[in-house]
């Protein structure tokens, strides 16, 4: 089959590789639509370590091609959505209600339950082996297209979880730093959770316009305004929840500084290098602030719930797929996505 294989920093592309086979508990899924994630950019730039020879990608939908022994309740030919995180459902983390941290303790490279495109071959390929298939295959309801659900696998699940982990309450004021794909989904998630004021922050006019379109009440361009001062003015003293969706020192620190006393910083960013916590940004430790981090929730029940939100027309994400490429042209897709050209939000990759 054809697959996008990582060979080293800046060295990746389509190769012919062996077709995967289903072992016990596995499923083989024929990919019908996948995407490129910001984490994939970290990988190809050498900023997040994976083994050379690994197939990249973790956000996809497809059709069941083969089922391993022990996988019941599914049939070959069914359309399925697979989460970016593939928990086993049986380990201590899963049984303790933390399925995203499935396998945690295996080492940094394990990154919880994130396996696809990380510790095993991923989704930017014609066929994908899904581990722990019983816990991770979510059948796509009739009437929903691939385009309607593919982004639920990662960016929507992650973005919504920023609001969930931040425990946004009815009437809260929420500020979301960075309006890329995950930040836009965090903006939507804050609205779904009942926030009465949602403020989006970015430095790209098209992304700020998109933030307004998906539900931000106010969109602030950090290049033109003192964001911290303006958030405090708009909220009468500070946001209840700040969601950081980029992964930089600047956005992390700005998120802290926009909080009211007792507020929560919900961090979704993947950080590289040293992250510092200025004492004055948390009132010298006396401000009753809370910092929470979240790894994308996965598993079939999470995917099922997200698909019901789409089916009930509470969320519409197809407009996020601004560009489309064939798998053979995936290096072109990475170039466009990585350089944020032509108003790109997400790219659809088709076999």
- The CATH superfamily assigned to 2-154+296-350 is Medium-chain alcohol dehydrogenases, catalytic domain (3.90.180.10)
Q: Flag whether pLDDT at 167 surpasses 60.
A: yes
Checking if the pLDDT of 339 tops 70, the result is yes
* pLDDT score, position 270: 82
Ranges of each domain in the chain: 2-154+296-350, 156-293
Q: In this predicted structure, what is the pLDDT of residue 351?
A: 96
Residues 199-224 have a mean pLDDT of: 97
Q: Does residue 272 surpass a pLDDT of 90? A: no
List pLDDT tens digits, range 287-302: 999 999 999 999 999 9
Cβ density class 93-124: b for 16+ within 10 Å, e for less = bbeeebbbbbbbeeeeebbbbbbbbbbbbbbb
pLDDT, one tens digit per residue, over 144-160 is: 999 999 999 999 999 99
Q: Which among 25, 17, 12, 13 has a CA at the least distance from the CA of 1?
A: 17
104 band by pLDDT with thresholds 50, 70 and 90? low
Q: What is the pLDDT of residue 274?
A: 85
> How far apart, in whole angstroms, are the C-alpha atoms of residue 197 and residue 127?
43
Q: Which residue has the tokens 């022990």?
A: 70
Summary mean pLDDT of the chain: 95
User: Mean of the pLDDT values across residues 61-78?
Assistant: 98
CATH of 156-293, one of 3.40.47.10, 3.40.50.300, 3.40.50.720, 3.40.50.2300: 3.40.50.720
What is the percent of the chain with per-residue pLDDT over 70, rounded to a whole number? 98
* pLDDT band for position 271 (cuts 50, 70, 90): confident
Q: Does residue 141 register a pLDDT over 90?
A: yes
Residue 108 pLDDT = 45
Render pLDDT for 275-287 as a digit per residue (tens, 0 to 9). Answer: 999 999 999 999 9
């Amino acid at each position: 089959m054809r697959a996008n294989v990582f060979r080293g920093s800046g060295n990746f592309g389509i190769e012919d590789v062996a077709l995967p086979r289903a072992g016990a508990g596995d499923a083989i899924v024929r990919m019908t639509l996948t995407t490129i994630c910001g984490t994939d950019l970290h990988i190809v730039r050498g900023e997040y370590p994976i083994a050379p020879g690994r197939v990249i990608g973790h956000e996809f939908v497809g059709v069941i091609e083969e089922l391993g022994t022990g996988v019941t309740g599914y049939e070959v030919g069914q359309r399925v959505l697979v989460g970016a995180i593939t928990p086993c459902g049986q380990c201590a983390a899963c049984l303790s209600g933390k399925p995203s941290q499935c396998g945690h303790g295996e080492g940094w490279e394990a990154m919880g339950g994130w396996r696809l495109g990380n510790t095993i071959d991923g989704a930017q390929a014609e066929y994908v082996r899904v581990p722990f298939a019983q816990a991770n295959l979510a059948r796509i309801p009739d009437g929903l297209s691939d385009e309607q659900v593919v982004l639920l696998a990662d960016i929507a699940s992650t973005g919504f979880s920023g609001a969930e982990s931040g425990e946004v309450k009815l009437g809260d004021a929420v500020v979301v730093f960075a309006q890329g794909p995950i930040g836009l989904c965090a903006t939507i998630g804050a609205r779904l959770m009942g926030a009465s004021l949602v403020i989006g922050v970015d430095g790209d006019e098209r992304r700020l316009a998109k933030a307004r379109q998906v539900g931000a009440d106010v969109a602030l361009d950090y290049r033109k305004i003192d964001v911290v001062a303006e958030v405090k003015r708009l909220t009468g003293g500070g946001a209840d929840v700040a969601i950081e969706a980029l992964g930089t020192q600047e956005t992390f620190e700005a998120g802290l500084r926009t909080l009211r006393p007792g507020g929560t910083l919900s961090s979704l960013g993947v950080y590289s290098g040293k992250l510092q916590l200025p004492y004055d940004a948390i009132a010298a430790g006396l401000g009753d602030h809370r910092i929470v981090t979240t790894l994308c929730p996965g598993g079939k029940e999470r995917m099922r719930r997200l698909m019901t939100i789409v089916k009930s027309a509470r969320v519409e994400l197809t407009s996020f797929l601004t560009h489309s490429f064939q798998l053979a042209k995936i290096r072109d897709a990475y170039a466009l996505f990585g350089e944020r050209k032509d108003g790109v939000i997400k790219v659809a990759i088709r076999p």
